[in-house]
Structure 1
Amino acid sequence: MNGPRPEAVALAARYADQTRPAHSIGKACHAALRGSYSVGMTLAADAALARRVSLCAVGPLADRGEALQINLGEGPCVQALRQRAPVLAENLDDPDTTHQWPVYAKRATAHHIHAAFALPILHGTDPARQAGLVLTLYRDRRGPMTDADLRAAQDHADAAELLLLTAPGSADGDLAHAWLLPTHAVVHQAIGVISYRHTITTGQALALLRAHAHTQDTDLTTLAHAIVHDHLVLPESPEPPPSGSTDC
């Protein structure tokens, strides 16, 4: 891509003075699409979404779709960052489409998400440490996106990036770090606590935190809060889920 289309530049100019420009762009994208989608937007400092900010979630499916990717560390958004290309998953029941994130696909469909389309705007050259903005569209029915909806979604993703690049305090070449506000700081604090207590790397600590969140059917932020503020100590390995529990 040589640069944003004029439509994206015009969108960015329209919402530049908004108090929450990224949320405004997300709502505008939701309204512009001809199909029925929920819209989520994530800014990540790495391809595993270990450090990220959820910039917006518009529509009934977006909150859960975004949270599942963060909690599990897998999903179309994660794949899009790692492979540096859009992921257009038109059927989450198709194992050939979702083989890189089978747990996410199973849990997403349990929440009536049957298609997901992740469009990344990337920064950095190392796929293992990829950073960038990802606009993800969630839909409760299977099938491909139309070309018109794909172009509209890409324009809104490009407009969001332009707004981020011009935000006060943005550092040259470090877009993600500049916008990684302490919205989810408790998760990073919990990773540090786990790393210290168990004498493991921060990557291993994140994996342990995610495993416990998964088996307890809770989200990372809730579990992290218990570790940091309520002095919860995790065992070395997660407990199996209670008898009769489900993956939804």
Structure 2
Amino acid sequence: MIEEQSQHLEIAAAMTEVAAAMTGPTDLAETLLVITRCTVDNIPGIVDASISITARDGRIETLAPTGPRVTRADHLQYELGEGPCLDAAIEDPVVAVNDLANDPRWPDFGPKAAALGFGSQVAFQFRAEPHVRGALNLYAQEPDAIDNDSIQLGSMFAGQVAVAMGWARQDQTMTEALATRNQIGQAVGIVMERYKLDSDRAFAFLTRLSQTSNTKLNAIAKALVQQTNDMSQQ
């Protein structure tokens, strides 16, 4: 009982560490590495972890690997077109294998993974809508190392990956929106000074220019700011 409570406290601490990594402006690569390291540190039997991300063109790549061996195992799956992380990233929510060397589902990948020193593996699908989909991959050194606790804990960390990916995308969108807003503000200031207009009329001027030229307002603003900067440097 005491041992179980201690494990729960360790998991709670790990989740707190991940949550702290996602507070405020985030570096996605560092946050994902925190997650994969925490899975290795807190799920019994797991010795390596990584994240597989699918691209729109069908490519798949590995992020935040905890070591070179897991990177090689992931890439073997991509090269061979078979393996737990591929199945999880593309189709199944959870894919577990307790004997990589002998599982008939992956006759090419399994023995090669075993030769790398992995006995079992589990992969968890995650989605960060609208476009991001992938899998959190956990590798164990021994066969039969994946149990229900491993799957429950791993699914929690997979949820953290989805949140991190979603937050990173939102942060990027907000950054782009702020940049656009600032650029339009600069353009309004330029029009106010150039044509002696107040801010409302300057903005209306830019809006009409956008409509008559069938050009997005942010593109009009960007061009005007760039033109003004170029003139000031001459």
Q: TM-score range by the shorter chain?
A: 0.5 to 0.7
Number of equivalent positions: 157
One-letter identity of the residue aligned with 1:109:
A
Q: 1:189-226 deviations in whole A, cap 9, x for unaligned?
A: xxxxxxxxxxxxxxxxxxxxxxxxxxxxxxxxxxxxxx
Is residue 113 of structure 1 aligned with residue 118 of structure 2? yes
Secondary structure at 2:73's aligned position in 1?
helix
- Aligned counterpart in structure 2 of residue 13 of structure 1, from 14, 19, 39: 19
Which residue number in structure 2 is paired with residue 44 of structure 1? 54
Which residue number in structure 2 is paired with residue 163 of structure 1? 164
- Aligned counterpart in structure 2 of residue 35 of structure 1, from 45, 51, 76: 45
CA RMSD, Structure 1 to Structure 2 (Å): 3.0
**Residue ranges of structure 2 left out of the alignment (5+ in a row):** 1-11, 175-234
Secondary structure at 1:161's aligned position in 2?
helix
Q: 2 CA distance for matches of 1:62 and 1:78?
A: 14
Q: 2 CA distance for matches of 1:36 and 1:109?
A: 15
Q: 1 CA distance for matches of 2:132 and 2:156?
A: 19
Q: 2 CA distance for matches of 1:147 and 1:170?
A: 38
Which residue number in structure 2 is paired with residue 89 of structure 1? 97
Please report the TM-score for the alignment, with normalisation by the length of structure 1. 0.54
Q: Percent identity among equivalent residues?
A: 20
Secondary structure at 2:51's aligned position in 1?
strand
1:95–1:32 Cα change, 3 Å: closer
The runs of at least 4 aligned residues of structure 1 exceeding 6 Å deviation read: none
Q: 1:18-71 deviations in whole A, cap 9, x for unaligned?
A: 53111111111111112242111111136xx94233211114641221121122
1:144–1:27 Cα change, 3 Å: closer
One-letter identity of the residue aligned with 1:116:
Q
Is residue 22 of structure 1 aligned with residue 23 of structure 2? no
Q: 2 CA distance for matches of 1:123 and 1:103?
A: 31
User: Max radius of gyration: which structure?
Assistant: 2
Secondary structure at 1:57's aligned position in 2?
coil
**Which structure ranks higher in relative contact order (CA pairs < 8 Å, sequence separation ≥ 6)?**
1
Please report the TM-score for the alignment, with normalisation by the length of structure 2. 0.57
- Aligned counterpart in structure 2 of residue 71 of structure 1, from 55, 79, 82: 79
Q: 1:166-209 deviations in whole A, cap 9, x for unaligned?
A: 113369xxxxxxxxxxxxxxxxxxxxxxxxxxxxxxxxxxxxxx
